[in-house]
Amino acid sequence: MNDKWLGASGLVLNEPLIFEKGAKGRKAYSLPKLDVEKANPEDIWPPKFIRDELEGFPEMSEVDVVRHFTRLSQWNYGVDSGFYPLGSCTMKYNPKVNEEMARLPDFAGVHPYQPEEFAQGAIQIIYELEQYLGEVSGMDRVTLQPSAGAQGELTGMLMIRAYLMDRGNPRKKVLVPDTAHGTNPASSSLCGYQVVQVKSDERGRLSPRAIEEKMDEDVAALMVTNPNTLGLFEDHICEVAQIVHQKGGLIYCDGANLNALMGLIRVGDMGVDVLHFNLHKTFSTPHGGGGPGAGPVGVKAHLADYLPLPVVVKEGDRFRFEYNRPKSIGKVRSFYGNFGILVRAYSYILSMGAEGLKKASLLALLNANYIRARLKGTYHLPYDFPCMHECVFNDKLQNQFGVTALDIAKRLMDYGFHPPTIYFPLVVHGALMIEPTESEAKETLDQFIESMIQIAKEAETDPELVRSAPHRTKVSRLDEVLANRKPKLRWKP
């Protein structure tokens, strides 16, 4: 191990639970002596809400409280602390200027019940962001309401269902390739459709033949992730879309991975009817840990009547919300979406410009292909093609020494890197899915690559070292199954 590099060491302090700290009677404040009569709590609150004793409540000084939470925050690992190659998640750096914009008091403080005439600037941002996303994707209309990629999928599928119902038959099935993101079959199913899996070919892609075989007049849509979860571009998408359209079905494209495509190709030009974006991946919202997010949905003109309520309309230089839309699928969440995230995306798009977005995608592709080319041979590459924004290896070569993808991922932490996504996509046994994003310098990628090569050597010469990793973290192998099955969420004194 090369200690010049990253790796956990030094002054990262241990910290017990807050309940285990402090001392009886210690306080984080000091107030002057009361010079008025002490009020009786029972005159203020109903007695049933008044506790005599707060057993086990931590009593601490101010500095101890500050240190407690500061120490815990230092245990966190995020994009601001280091490389985070978590495939399918686009954990890229989010420029701080976009955070600043979202925090401007007039944006942060705007109230959803504020009359439209006093929120013109905010509504204009919603309107213009819809236009920008339409331009990036080639879709005719966009809604910004859904709060996650998965909710965007459900919104899109509900619109497809409403459209088909208007034509007399909502149909029964949705085709989903085996390389799709797991949320795709889930959303289809939530929308009442039966999921029919389509096998990808030996190139890890959809073949027109496979679609032809499964496509019939019971199929409502094909839901396709592009680039797919192997990081490969679905290069038969136009032909496939034609086959589906001929039989009256629609194409849903999961565009969560738009970080690979911005400024390079427009999904709307490839026969796609509905597309969702993940603003919290591609467009500058930090994510992880469950949100908040934003999963806008773009549609072609023939689906515009079904968009969720309300839609924003521009009249002269004024903006307003329109609710009178009889064909709309209705509301998919409260108010107008996660507005702060929309501001970040708006600011990101304006500050990057068209050329900047294109360059971001090109660098994301370059970085992924650099890692792919340098690690190929050291790690097995089951689909050996140029990739888009991520590349998928597996643990086949290390398996012969008894080392698995999980062991490799754990050992990477000793080298100071967040592990990549493992065991996904499901079509690759023992997958290691690496997405470097555009925001990393070559030096960082080289450190990561060298660490991966080193781990491959260790797997051969000292497999036990890798199997028992991580060694330099605060805790090593946790019982993840037990933690999930029996979470301990309550502390008892």
Ligand X SMILES: *Cc1c(COP(=O)(O)O)cnc(C)c1O
Contact call for residue 256 and ligand X (CB under 6 A)? yes
Contact call for residue 204 and ligand X (CB under 6 A)? no
Tell me the window of 123-131, 147-155, 230-238, 403-411 that interacts with ligand X (CB under 6 A). 147-155
Least gap, CB of 287 to ligand X (angstroms) = 8
For 40-65, letters b (16+ CB in 10 Å) and e give eeeeeeeeeeeeeeeeeebebeeebe
Residue 88 CA to residue 228 CA, distance in Å, equals 9
Restricting to residues 358-377, name those near ligand X by CB under 6 A.
none
The single residue among 204, 295, 310, 430 that binds ligand X, judged by CB under 6 A, is 295
Residues near 366 by beta carbon (within 8 Å), at least 6 away in sequence: none
Based on C-alpha coordinates, what's the Rg of the chain? 26
Least gap, CB of 153 to ligand X (angstroms) = 7
Least gap, CB of 109 to ligand X (angstroms) = 26
Choice between 6 and 142, CB closer to ligand X: 142
Least gap, CB of 191 to ligand X (angstroms) = 15
CB distance 417 to 83 below 8 Å = yes
Contact call for residue 338 and ligand X (CB under 6 A)? no
Choice between 295 and 470, CB closer to ligand X: 295
Least gap, CB of 148 to ligand X (angstroms) = 4
Long-range contacts of 304-312 (CB under 8 A, 24+ apart): 304/140, 304/141, 306/158, 306/159, 306/162, 306/163, 307/141, 307/143, 307/159, 308/143, 308/145, 308/146, 308/155, 308/332, 310/336, 311/141, 311/143, 312/123, 312/126, 312/127, 312/130
Least gap, CB of 243 to ligand X (angstroms) = 22
Least gap, CB of 74 to ligand X (angstroms) = 27
The single residue among 137, 143, 183, 188 that binds ligand X, judged by CB under 6 A, is 183
Following DSSP, what letter does each residue of 12-49 receive, concatenated?
Answer: ------GGGS--TT--S---PPP-SPPPPHHHHS-GGG
The single residue among 130, 234, 254, 438 that binds ligand X, judged by CB under 6 A, is 254
CB distance 144 to 276 below 8 Å = no
Following DSSP, what letter does each residue of 131-173 receive, concatenated?
Answer: HHHHHHHT-SEEE---SSHHHHHHHHHHHHHHHHHHTT---SE
For residues 80 to 119, the per-residue mask of contacts with ligand X, x marking binding by CB under 6 A and - elsewhere, is --------x-------------------------------
Tell me the window of 42-50, 136-144, 201-209, 250-258 that interacts with ligand X (CB under 6 A). 250-258
Restricting to residues 207-226, name those near ligand X by CB under 6 A.
225
Whether residue 227 has a cis bond before it, omega within 30° of 0: yes
Choice between 193 and 415, CB closer to ligand X: 193
Phi, psi of 242, rounded to the nearest 5 degrees: -60, -45
Restricting to residues 36-75, name those near ligand X by CB under 6 A.
none
The single residue among 122, 148, 409, 455 that binds ligand X, judged by CB under 6 A, is 148
Least gap, CB of 184 to ligand X (angstroms) = 7
Residue 336 CA to residue 307 CA, distance in Å, equals 13
DSSP SS3 for 305? helix
Least gap, CB of 232 to ligand X (angstroms) = 13
Following DSSP, what letter does each residue of 376-444 receive, concatenated?
Answer: BTTBB-SS-S--SS-EEEESHHHHTTT--HHHHHHHHHHTT----EES-STTSTTEEEE---TT--HHH
The single residue among 145, 188, 226, 257 that binds ligand X, judged by CB under 6 A, is 257
Restricting to residues 258-287, name those near ligand X by CB under 6 A.
278
DSSP SS3 for 281? helix
Choice between 88 and 447, CB closer to ligand X: 88
The single residue among 161, 173, 181, 467 that binds ligand X, judged by CB under 6 A, is 181
Least gap, CB of 93 to ligand X (angstroms) = 18
Residue 356 CA to residue 348 CA, distance in Å, equals 10
- Residue whose CB is nearest to ligand X in the complex, by number: 149
Least gap, CB of 281 to ligand X (angstroms) = 6
Q: What is the total count of residues that contact ligand X (CB under 6 A)?
A: 13
Tell me the window of 253-261, 262-270, 351-359, 423-431 that interacts with ligand X (CB under 6 A). 253-261
Binding site for ligand X (CB under 6 A): 88, 148-150, 181, 183, 225, 254, 256-257, 278, 293, 295
